[in-house]
Amino acid sequence: MHLSPLPLSERVNLDSAKRADFVKKLHEQVRINIERRTDQIAQRVNKGRQRMVFEPGDWMWMHLHKERFPVQRPNKLLPRGDGPFQVLKRINDNAYKLDLPAAYNVSATFNDLSPFLADDEADLRTNPFQEEGNDTNQYVPFDKVRVPLGPVTRALAKRLREELQGLVREV
């Protein structure tokens, strides 16, 4: 028995022209359903993504793939990005030509870029391991009654423990 999208009763009564029209309409409905479903999936997948289009003169970080940059990134512990490099030409919304040094010895066209944010635009977190630096999880000074705000980091937990030990000694 051969399975077909046409019901058995209609298969007997339809001539070839009507059958061809029916199949064409069926194909059109299937195509519309596939496009609609594809749009729904794309909308769900791209929900949190932000469309970024760069112009010539913008500064970018490029991603160093191990396959494309074996000399610059021979192992996974080296930095993943390099730059900033200036965009020379916008090829399309996803591909850009960068001003690369000759030492890279690769094509200057990329599509895996991140924007370079200058210090005034960037998140101004400093390295907590530097002597003069501090982290964004800053300790909020408190007296004997107040509790610090924000997440409890190791440094804050140590400080709380010291404060508690000091209170116990006073009592």
User: Containing H/E element for 88?
Assistant: strand 81-90
Which residues face 82 on adjacent strands?
Answer: 62
For the chain, domain boundaries: 13-45, 59-115, 127-171
Please give the mean pLDDT across all residues of the chain.
Answer: 76
Q: Which helix (DSSP H) or strand (DSSP E) does residue 63 occupy? A: strand 59-63
Residue 28 pLDDT more than 90? yes
Say what the pLDDT of residue 72 is: 79
| Three-state DSSP class for residue 82 | strand
Q: What is the pLDDT of residues 100-117, one digit of tens each?
A: 888 888 888 888 788 887
Amino acid identity for residue 26 in this structure:
L
Which residue's structure tokens are 């729904």? 40
DSSP SS3 for 158: helix
**Contacting residues for 150 by C-beta, under 8 A, at least 6 apart:** 137, 138, 140, 156
131: which 2 tokens?
């002597």
Instruction: Please tell me the pTM assigned to this model.
Output: 0.45
